[in-house]
Structure 1
Amino acid sequence: MPLLHLTVRYIDSFTEVCGRLLTWLVLAMALLTAAVVVLRYGFNTGSIMAQETVTYLHGCLFMLGAAYTLKHDGHVRVDIFYRELGPRGQAWVNCLGGVLFLLPLGMFILLISWDYVAASWLIRETSPEPGGIPAVFLLKTLLPLLALNLLLQGWRKSCAILSS
């Protein structure tokens, strides 16, 4: 069991650090969005790269923040029966939900996105917009990273439930 507890602790630490770093993206996104609006309506100029950067930040925040949200039980769940269950029943629902739904979904996303992302990296896919970010392949890389982070956190939650 010590190896299991150590693994859970490392996954938790990794997820926590990632989540805390991602919170800064919210501030960056807000400031950049405000700058885009001021430039467009105040100075009648725009920047495709700035607009795409907001999209990239938004993608990073949600795709990489999903595991942090799962760790802190901030994810959406159907609460009709769950809230009526005791702690043991809730633990069973969480464990079964993780094993039957979350882990297979994470594996599916990882497998289905792998070739898609690899093809994008192979051609170093760029934005179709003139002046856009020449790194669409980086944005697409968020798909397998989402899957890996969710798999790690789902496995961690299942291990924590089983070990308690």
Structure 2
Amino acid sequence: MSPAKHQHIIQTSIDTLTDVSGRLLAWLSLIMMVLLCLVVVLRYGFDLGTIALQESVTYLHGSIFMLGAAYTLKLDGHVRVDIFYRNFSPRAKAWINSLGGIIFLLPLCTYIFIISWDYVIQSWAIREVSTEPGGIPAIFLLKTLIPLMAFNLGLQALAEILRSAMVLISKDEASHTDG
């Protein structure tokens, strides 16, 4: 199997994983909206409140935000200053994307993963619970989203770097065969 084919398989596999998780997270948005409406109706309509229900909205929001970062990157929905970028050729964009991923995004994901690891392990060790009476007894699960986000985003960054490399390689191969 050629390196380009192997690279394509890895990139496609990561993209598929990110796409499936992103679509599942979209359903969490709907669930979060329903729960939030329920919290409001119970609180203001019936003068009833439950901390666990309110915290579940926070857990869902955290899950969507943290785990959805990779999906956003896959869809090219991240924040970027497009004043110059939008006018660049596909090759120039591939250079910027690959270098940005290698120099900035992968090191950031690695840093977040490493720096959060002990924090999450300590939370798991004590099975950290909510400080609110009646809250969700699983803060350790919420904190686990931090290294998971770094891992997922790092994987998708790798897929984006491979995608950009394929653009650069195909352009280089085309220019070598023309001459």
TM-score, normalized by the shorter chain, greater than 0.5: yes
Looking at structure 2, the residues matched to 107 and 55 of structure 1 have their Cα atoms a distance apart, in angstroms, of 25
Residue in structure 2 matching 1:121, options 120, 124, 132: 124
> Cα deviation per residue 1:116-161 (whole Å; 9 max; x = unaligned)?
0000000000000000000000000000000000110001110111
Which shows bigger deviation, 2-11 or 56-65? 2-11
**Partner in structure 2 of residue 160 of structure 1:** 163
Give the CA deviation at 1:84: 2.3
Give the CA deviation at 1:92: 1.1
**Partner in structure 1 of residue 106 of structure 2:** 103
Q: Matches of residues 13-162 of structure 1 in structure 2 within 5 Å?
A: 13-162=16-165
Give the CA deviation at 1:80: 2.2
Instruction: List structure 1 runs of 4+ shifted beyond 3 angstroms.
Output: none
Looking at structure 2, the residues matched to 78 and 143 of structure 1 have their Cα atoms a distance apart, in angstroms, of 26
Q: What residue ranges of structure 2 are gaps of 5+ in the alignment? A: 168-179
Cα RMSD, aligned residues only: 0.8
Secondary structure of the residue that 1:141 maps to in structure 2? Answer: helix
Which shows bigger deviation, 78-87 or 26-35? 78-87
Q: What residue ranges of structure 1 are gaps of 5+ in the alignment? A: none
Instruction: Give the number of equivalent residue pairs.
Output: 164
Give the CA deviation at 1:34: 0.3
What amino acid does structure 2 have at the position aligned with 1:94? N
Give the CA deviation at 1:36: 0.3
Bigger-Rg structure (1/2): 2
TM-score by length of 1: 0.98
What amino acid does structure 2 have at the position aligned with 1:162? A
Give the CA deviation at 1:89: 1.1
